[in-house]
């Protein structure tokens, strides 16, 4: 394999050609005023060519995020630029990107990242950063998953900061309605988050058991439950899904949690769901999914997000999830709704709120590199939904005798 120096030189020659084909301007920050031309092109301002091309040479696609973390480049419209790059990988010009990927991508296994100990470490790395940090960009319900917005008469989503909390409750209510949670229901939640779903269910009169492996989230939720006066209806525990023991629940809900289970542990996860569900009960899963071809090509890779933000994040594809359910469980999909554009808007609001809170993020002790890391994380996730590489689904599951479709 060529040395990093040779590959860096290769990138410095090839990328300007590719950028021109994609109508992207690569601009040296020292020559920005003279180089920038009025157009609809996406502009990439390179502050350090050596770091920019060097990171790409050493880390491949992952190096794009690493060089952004370093401050080696910036963009006027980061989400738009990333959308264009993602769209390009599906087009003929993007064959250049695909051709370079195997030369420079570093494929590494996740080891035992999804075992009991590995899962706790992965979740702690992401969710235990600081409750105060997440409070700076989430809505007042402290919900860190896709909202479900209303749709206007013109077909556009009614999505802004002031409507985010209501849209999160709309998401919760749809799941709770479909798994038939009401007064006296026994609900198990796997993956507590900061307690929004558990509180919403308890306010309906349900008895809720919710489990998390984030110590910081548990402390927050226990305090929140006390403040809401719901101690008699909600039990929150620090417990992995594999440690639940026996149980019979009318309903089970798990929101954007299976993405951190690991494909090799899907059968164990489904087995737990079946063991905990009463015969006539239903399960509601909200799941981030990848486009099938992306899932196939990336499931053995360690991405930039895995390296720097969320070590265990590996979304399934919808067909892979459905196939695993058929093969490893007696559960069937009785309802499915995909709403990826809603997650793109949720991420936009989070990203803008995070940017507006830059001074507060600094005051919490998170420096410039952390802020650029999360800027790129939120922008790249938003772009992935806008480009159709990611989607989000609500799946309703029941026993096979309940009928329905596995699609």
Tell me, what's the pLDDT at 103? 43
Contacts of 115 by beta carbon, 8 Å cutoff, 6+ apart: none
Residue 106 has pLDDT above 50, yes or no: no
Q: Output the CA torsion sign for 335, 336, 337, 343.
A: positive
Across the range 354-383, mean pLDDT stands at: 98
pLDDT digits (tens, 9 = 90+) for 172-208: 999 999 999 999 999 999 999 999 999 999 999 999 9
The model's pLDDT over 135-183, given as tens digits with 9 standing for 90+, comes to 999 999 999 999 999 999 999 999 999 999 999 999 999 999 999 999 9
Name the least confident of 42-46, 58-62, 204-208, 238-242: 58-62
pLDDT for 325 beyond 80: yes
pLDDT greater than 70 at residue 37: no
More reliable by pLDDT, 15 or 360: 360
| pLDDT of the residue at 57 | 87
Q: What average pLDDT does range 271-295 have in this prediction?
A: 96
Tell me how long the chain is. Answer: 407
Residue 298 Cα distances to 95, 105, 295, 371, angstroms: 17, 11, 5, 26
CA distance 250 to 393: 22
Fold of 116-402: Rossmann fold (3.40.50)
Average pLDDT over residues 328-340: 97
pLDDT at 105: 42
Extended beta strands in 200-354, E state: 207-212, 234-238, 249-255, 277-290, 331-338
- Give the pLDDT confidence of 12-25 residue by residue, as tens digits: 888 888 888 889 99
Question: What's the rounded Cα separation, in Å, for the pair 260 and 306?
Answer: 11
Q: What is the mean pLDDT of the segment spanning 327-356?
A: 98
Q: How confident is the model at residue 1 (pLDDT cuts 50, 70, 90)?
A: low
3-class state of residue 288 by DSSP: strand
297-320 pLDDT, tens digit each: 887 788 999 999 999 999 999 999
Per the prediction, the chain carries an average pLDDT of 91
Position 59 scores a pLDDT of 84
Measured distance CA(26)–CA(42) in Å, rounded: 9
Question: Within 13 Å of residue 64, how many CA atoms lie on the same side as its CB?
Answer: 20
Cα dist from 320 to 374, 398, 406, 407, whole Å: 29, 18, 11, 10
pLDDT tops 70 at residue 266? yes
350-377: average pLDDT: 98
Structure-token pair, residue 248: 């019979």
Residue 257 confidence (pLDDT) above 60: yes
Domain residue ranges in the chain: 4-104, 116-402
Q: Considering only CA atoms, which of 278, 287, 277 is closest in space to residue 257? A: 287
Q: What CA dihedral angle connects 196, 353, 61 and 288, to 10 degrees?
A: 20
What separation in angstroms does the CA of 161 have from each of 255, 324, 350? 21, 37, 9
- Closest-CA residue to 359 (of 347, 369, 371, 350): 371
Look at residue 39 and tell me whether its pLDDT is greater than 70: no
pLDDT attached to residue 99: 45
Average pLDDT over residues 287-294: 96
In angstroms, what CA-CA distances link 164 with 93, 159, 160, 371? 38, 7, 6, 23
Handedness of CA 305, 368, 66, 115 (dihedral sign): negative
Name the pLDDT band for 96 (thresholds 50, 70, 90).
low
């Amino acid at each position: 394999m060529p040395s990093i120096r040779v590959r860096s030189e290769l990138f410095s020659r090839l990328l300007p050609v590719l950028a021109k084909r994609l109508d992207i301007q690569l601009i040296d920050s020292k020559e920005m005023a003279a180089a920038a031309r009025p157009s609809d092109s996406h502009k990439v301002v390179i502050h350090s060519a050596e770091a920019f091309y060097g990171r790409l040479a050493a880390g491949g696609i992952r190096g794009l995020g690493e060089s952004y973390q370093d401050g080696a480049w910036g963009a006027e419209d980061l989400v738009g630029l990333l959308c264009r790059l993602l769209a390009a990988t599906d087009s003929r010009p993007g064959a250049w990107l695909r051709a370079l990927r195997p030369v420079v991508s570093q494929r590494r296994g996740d080891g035992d990242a999804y075992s009991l100990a590995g899962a706790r470490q992965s979740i702690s790395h992401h969710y235990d950063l600081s409750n105060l940090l997440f409070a700076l960009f989430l809505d007042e319900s402290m919900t860190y998953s896709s909202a479900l917005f209303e749709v206007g008469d013109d077909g556009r989503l009614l999505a802004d900061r002031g409507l985010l909390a209501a849209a999160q409750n709309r998401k919760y209510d749809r799941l709770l309605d479909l798994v038939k949670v009401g007064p006296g229901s026994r609900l198990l939640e796997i993956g507590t988050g900061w307690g929004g779903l558990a509180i919403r269910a308890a306010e309906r009169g349900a008895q809720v058991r919710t489990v998390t492996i984030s110590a910081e989230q548990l402390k927050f939720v226990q305090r929140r439950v006390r403040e809401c006066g719901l101690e008699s209806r909600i039990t929150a525990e620090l417990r992995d899904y594999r440690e639940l023991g026996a149980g019979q629940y009318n309903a089970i809900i798990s929101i954007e949690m299976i993405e951190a289970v690991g494909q090799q542990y899907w059968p164990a996860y489904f087995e737990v769901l079946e063991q905990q569900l009463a015969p006539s009960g239903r399960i509601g899963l909200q799941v981030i999914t990848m486009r099938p071809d992306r899932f196939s090509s990336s499931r053995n890779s360690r991405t930039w997000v895995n390296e720097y933000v969320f070590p265990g994040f590996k979304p399934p594809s919808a067909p892979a999830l459905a196939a695993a359910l058929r093969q490893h469980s007696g559960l069937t999909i009785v309802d499915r709704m995909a709403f990826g554009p809603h997650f793109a808007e949720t991420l936009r609001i989070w990203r803008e709120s995070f940017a507006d809170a830059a001074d507060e993020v600094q005051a919490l002790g998170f420096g410039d590199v952390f802020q650029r890391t999360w800027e790129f994380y939120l922008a790249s996730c938003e772009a992935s939904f806008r480009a159709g590489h990611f989607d989000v689904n609500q799946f309703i599951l029941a026993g096979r005798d309940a009928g329905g479709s596995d699609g």
